[in-house]
Structure 1
Amino acid sequence: MRPTSRTSDRSTDEAAETHETGETGPVPRRGAMLAILCAGMFLVLLDVTIVNVALPGIGRALGTGLPGLQGVVDGYAVAIAGLLLGGGALGDRIGYRRMTLIGLGLFGLASLACGSAPGAGPLIAARVVQGAGAALLLPGSLAVITAVYPGRAEQARALGVWAGISSTALPAGPLLGGMLVDSAGWRWIFLINVPIGAAAMAGVVAIVREPRRERPGGARPPLDRAGMALAPLALGGLVWTVIAAGHGHQGEAAATAAVTVVAAAAFVWAERRAAAPMVPGGLLRAPAFLGANGIALAMNLVTNGVLFVATLKLQQGEHHSAFTAGALLLPMAVPLALLAPVSGRLTARFGTRLPLGAGTALAAAGCLSLLRVGAGGSYPALLPALLAIGIGDGLIVTAVVAAAMRAVPPAHAGLAGGFNNTARQIGTALGVAVYGAVAGSALTPGHFVSGVHALAWLSVGLWLAALALTRIVPNR
C-alpha cells in the first residue's frame, strides 16, 4: 500500500512548478498555463486555415487574382518563417513570457488592420505584420511548455495536448471561415482574432510565469543583430523567388534570387563571427536536429500545398460555397486535431520514430489518390488524400516537435522552438507557392488537372524523403 502517493505526487508536481518558474510562493497549476499557451498557437493556426476558404471572396472584393491571393497567404507565412529565429533568440534573451505578450498584442493589432484593409496591397502588408506577431509568440510559448514539463515522458504528453488543442484550429478554421464569409463577409475572419487575442493576453498576465533559466555567469547573451536582420531577407527571398518564377516573372525571380543568395552568404559569414550567434554552429551540423526539422518542413509543405489546391478546386472549379468547401475539408483537419494527443502518448511510450514513420508512410500512400482528380466533380478522388494527410499529420506533429526539442540543450529551448516553427512555416509558404504555381487557376480545368497529377508525385516523393529522415532523429 502507498496511502500517501497521491499527496506525494501532488507535492512533487508543485515543487517542480516552483523550481521551473523561479517562484517560491503558490504557483498556478501547470495545466492552466498549458491551456493559456495553447490559445496562442490556436490563433496562429486559425489564420492559416480560416483564410483559405475566404480567398475567392477576397479576390472578388478586392479585385485581385491568383498572385494576390498567394500573397495574402504567403505574406503571413513568409513573415513567420523569416522572423521566428529572431523571435526565439529574443525570447532566450529577454524572457519567453514577455515575448508571448508582445506577440499576442502585435497579432491582435495587425488582425484589426487586416479586417479594415481597403485593397490587396494593404491587406498583404497587414498580413506580414500579423506574421511578425506570430513569430514572437510561437517560440516563447513552446519554450515555456518545455521548461514547465522538463521530464521527457511528461513533456511529450504536454506537447501532445498543446498540438491537439492548437490543432482544433484546423477543423474550426474552414467551418468558422465559411460561416463568417457567407454571413458577415470575409473581413470578419480577421476581426474575430481581436477579442480572442485580448482574452489570451489577459490569461498570460494572470496565469503564466517566466521559467527560470540557468545562464553561464548569470549574464544575458549579446543580441545577434546581424543575424536577425539577414535571416528574414534570406528566407523571405527564397519564397518570393519561387512565387515569381512560378508566375513567369523571370526578371523579378532573378532579382530576388540574387538577394537571397547574398543574404544567405552574409548570414553564414555573420554567424561564424558573432560572439553569441543566433544559430549556434553546432545545431546546423547536428543531423538529428536537421532531420527533425526537415520532416517538419516536408509535412507543412505538402499539407498546405494540397489544402490550397483543394480549396481552389472546390470553390472555383466545383462552385461550392465557402461553408460547404470548409466542411468538405474536414477529413484533413479533424484527424490531425484528434490524433495529436495520441501522438504525444505514443512518443512518450515508444519514442519519436514510430509515430513519425507511420505518419509519413500513410500520407505518402494517400497522396496517390490525387492522380484520380479530373475536370469534373473530383471530391471522391480528393477524399483519400485529405484523410491520409490528416491522419499522417496527426501522428507526426507532436513527435516531430519533441524530436527537435530533444536534439538541443535546454538553454536553447526558445531557439529550437523557433527553428522548428521556422521550418514548418517555410514549408507552408513554399507549399502554397509551388502548388499554386504548378496547378494554376481551377478556372482553366485542363492545365489545373495536369498540374494536380504532377503534384501527386511530388507529394509522394516528399513524404518518402521525410520517411527516410526518421532514421536519424532522436528517438528518446
Structure 2
Amino acid sequence: MIPPASRAGSPYTVLVVMCAGYFLVLLDVTIVNVALPAIGSGLGTDVGGLQWVVDGYALALASSMLTSGTAGDRYGHKRVVLAGLAVFGAGSLGCGLAPDVPLLVTARVVQGTGAALLLPGTLALIGRAFPDPAERARAIGVWAGIGSLALPAGPLLGGVLTDGPGWRAIFLINVPIVLLALVCSVAVVRESRETTAHPLDLPGLLLGGLALLATTSAFIEGGRSGATAPDVLAAAVVAVLALAALAAAERRRGDTAMVPPALLRRPAFGAANTIAGIMNLCTLGTLFVLLLFLQSVQHRSAFQAGLTMLPLFTPLAVCALLGGRIASRVGARVPATAGLLVAAAGLALLTRATAHSGLPLLVPAFLLWGLGVGLLTPAVVAAAIAAVPAERSGLASAVNNTARQTGGAIGIAVAGAIAGTPSDEPRFLRGLHTVAAGSAALYAATAAVALVLLPGALSLRRR
C-alpha cells in the first residue's frame, strides 16, 4: 500500500486539480496540429518547418520527462508541478509573440520543458492520493478521460481561434488557464516527496536528449534533402553514438540511472512502455499527416477539419474512463490488446482515403481509431505504475510518458518524411496510405506483445 500524500483537499479534489495540468498538455497537442497550415502560410515555412514546430515541443517533453519525474521524487512533486506550470505559461506567451519559425520553435521547446516538469507530477500526486490499487486504477482512468477531453476540444477550439483571431491565439489562450491552475494547485495540494529519492542523472538527460534530437533531425531533414545527404548521415551517426554512450552510462549508474536496468528487466514494465511508445508513434504520426490532408488536399477550413476529427477524439476521451475501470477489474491485458486491434482496423480504413473522400469513409475510421486508443491508454499507464515499487511512482509515470512522447516525436518525423509536401498531391496521398497501413500493421503486431506480457489482473499489492 502507498502511504497517502499530505494534502489540503480530498483525494478527489487533488484529482481534479491535477487533471487540469494534464488537460493543458494534451490541449496543446491537438490545438497546434489543426493550426499548422495557417502557421506555415503565416511564417512562410514548409512541411519540415512545421515538423519542427510540433517536435520542438515533443523533443523537450520527451528528453526532460525522466529527470523531471526523479526531481519530483527528490524535491517534491508539488514544487515541480508549480514550476512546470510557470514555465509552460512563459513558453506559451513566447509562442504567441514569435515573429519567425526559429523563435517559435525555441518557445515550443520552453513549452515542452514546462510540460515535462508538469506531467509526471500530476500522475504521481494522484497515485499518492489513492493508495489502494483498485481505486488508483479508476483514478488513472478519470485522469486519462478528463485529460482526453482536451483532444476533442483542441481541434474545435483551434479551428475557431485559427479561423477567427488567428493562429497566435491558440498559444495565448494557455496563459490565463495556467494562472488559474497555479492558484488552485497552491490552495489544494500539499507537498509529496519520497524519503529515498535518487539523485538526478544529468549525463543521462544530456545523452538521451542528444540521441532523440539527432534521431528526429535525421528523419525530418531526410524528408527534405534525401537519406544520403551529409547532414542526415551526420545526424544518424550522432544518434547511434549518443545511444551507445547513454547505454554505457546508465549501466555504470545502476539503480541511480534515469531508468534503472533492474526496472527494464521487469517484463510487464518494459512491455507497457514499449506499447505506449508505439501507440503515440502511430497515432501522432498519422494525425500530423491527416490534418494536412484535410486542410491542404481536401481544402477544409481549420474549424471544418477540427469538426471532422471529432469522431476520433470524442470516443478516445469517453473510452479512456471505461478502459480505466476495465483495467481495475481484469488487468491491462484485455483492454490493451482489444484497443490495439480496434485501432488497427480504423487506421486500415484510411488507406482508402482520397481527395474526395467524405464522412462515410472518414467517420468509421476515426471512430474505430479513437475507441481503440481510448481503451489502450489507461491500460498501459496502469500496468507501468503497478509494475514498480511504490517509491518509484514518479519515475514510473515519467518513463511511461517519455516513451509516449519519444514515440510521438519520431512518428511525426517519420510520417512527414514519408508523405512529403501536400502540394505534390499524388505523392502525398500515397504517403498517407503508407503511413496508415504501416501504423495499422504495427498496432496489430503489438497486440501480440500485450497479450503475452501485460498482466491479466492488477495485483492487490505493489511489486
Compared CA separation, residues 348 and 58, structure 1 to 2 (3 A): same
Q: What is aligned with 1:235?
A: 212
CA distance in structure 2 between the partners assigned to 1:260 and 1:411 by the alignment: 32
CA contact (8 A) 2:155 2:309 kept: yes
The structural deviation recorded for 1:368 is 1.7
Q: What is aligned with 1:13?
A: none
Give the partner amino acid of 1:269. Answer: A
Q: What is aligned with 1:405?
A: 385
Give the partner amino acid of 1:228. Answer: L
Q: What is aligned with 1:263?
A: 242
CA distance in structure 2 between the partners assigned to 1:442 and 1:378 by the alignment: 18
Q: Which moved more, 1:443-452 or 1:151-160?
A: 443-452
CA distance in structure 2 between the partners assigned to 1:224 and 1:307 by the alignment: 33
The structural deviation recorded for 1:379 is 4.6
Residue 437 (structure 2) aligned to one of 457, 465, 472:
457
The structural deviation recorded for 1:131 is 0.4
Q: What is aligned with 1:69?
A: 50
Q: What is aligned with 1:247?
A: 224
Q: What is aligned with 1:144?
A: 125
Aligned with 2:225: secondary structure? Answer: coil
Give the partner amino acid of 1:65. Answer: D
The structural deviation recorded for 1:266 is 1.7
1:294 to 2:274 alignment = yes
Q: Which moved more, 1:221-230 or 1:419-428?
A: 221-230
Q: What is aligned with 1:135?
A: 116
The structural deviation recorded for 1:214 is 4.2
Q: Percent identity?
A: 51
CA distance in structure 1 between the partners assigned to 2:293 and 2:6 by the alignment: 52
Would you identify which runs of 4 or more consecutive aligned residues in structure 1 move more than 4 Å?
Answer: none
Alignment of 1:37-436 (within 5 A): 37-211=18-192, 213-215=194-196, 220-249=197-226, 250-274=229-253, 276-436=256-416
Give the partner amino acid of 1:351. Answer: G
Compared CA separation, residues 312 and 379, structure 1 to 2 (3 A): farther
Q: Which runs of 5+ in 1 are unaligned?
A: 1-15
CA distance in structure 2 between the partners assigned to 1:213 and 1:82 by the alignment: 22
The structural deviation recorded for 1:442 is 2.4
CA distance in structure 2 between the partners assigned to 1:189 and 1:60 by the alignment: 16
CA distance in structure 2 between the partners assigned to 1:402 and 1:187 by the alignment: 36
The structural deviation recorded for 1:212 is 5.3
Q: Deviations 1:388-431 (Å, cap 9, x if unpaired)? A: 11000111111110011111111111111111001111121122
CA distance in structure 2 between the partners assigned to 1:302 and 1:81 by the alignment: 16
Aligned with 1:20: secondary structure? Answer: coil
TM-score normalised by L of structure 2: 0.94
Give the partner amino acid of 1:263. Answer: A
Q: Deviations 1:259-290 (Å, cap 9, x if unpaired)? A: 21222122222222227222111122222111
CA contact (8 A) 2:75 2:193 kept: no
Compared CA separation, residues 315 and 272, structure 1 to 2 (3 A): same
Q: Deviations 1:131-160 (Å, cap 9, x if unpaired)? A: 011111111111111111121110110001
The structural deviation recorded for 1:73 is 0.7
1:21 to 2:26 alignment = no
Q: Which has the larger radius of gyration?
A: 1
The structural deviation recorded for 1:292 is 0.5
